[in-house]
Amino acid sequence: MTNVKVQLENLVQTRIPTAHGDFTLHYFSNNIDNKENVAMVKGDVSSAQGIPVRIHSECFTGDVLGSRRCDCGEQLDMALQMIDKAGRGILIYLRQEGRGIGLLKKLQAYNLQDEGLDTVDANIHLGHLADEREYDIAALILENLKVKSIALITNNPHKIEELVKLGVQVDKRIPIETYIHGDNKDYLKTKVEKMSHMLSMSGKNKEMPSK
């Protein structure tokens, strides 16, 4: 993140009824990248502790198109369900596609994966890091919403570490495991073996047949 001080503005809040319950959508602008980051908020989170929070990075192919190459779309749905069941919580949607490398490079990485590279090596082959995401904006959004501490919905230990460095109090981790199937098995295995993601790869994470 640039050394320029980030200025975050919560410009609009509006009610969004979803398949997973009613949320209030907060639209945030900032002076660094002009990206439209948003937060889906359920219930009263101001001054609350241990609030369930999912920090979800944009995945056009998974979130919108329903791609089975990753677990992103399923995680998005599951996180909203978990927050709705808890009665309050926050889903922060960050505009950092493809672990921060952008949609074009992500699609090029997909082609490299079809040629035999895994998701990490494909990014590196394109001149990027395995994961270039940053969480400064997420930390500022939590501060703006006046959250005291969170229960982070994630399998990614790096995300926890980065948020703690940014001053976010993470009380605990809430696992979020999706289905394994033929299209995402190698992707999930690479997450575990090369990115230290905390996935069981068995049990709850069971095989789901193709539609």
d(CA 90, CA 150): 9
Strands (E), 2-43: 8-18, 21-30, 37-42
Task: Give catalytic status of residue 173 as yes or no.
Answer: no
Going by C-alpha positions, the residue among 48, 7, 3, 4 that lies closest to residue 140 is: 7
88 in catalytic set: no
- Residue in 133, 136, 171, 186 annotated catalytic: 133
Per the DSSP assignment, residues forming a β-bridge with 29 are 9
The closest of 183, 208, 181 to 113, measured between CA atoms, is 183
Catalytic residue among 84, 88, 131, 183: 131
């949609």: which residue's tokens? 103
**How many residues make up the chain in this entry?**
211
The rounded distance, in Å, linking the Cα atoms of 78 and 209 is 18
Residues annotated as catalytic (active site), given as ranges: 131, 133
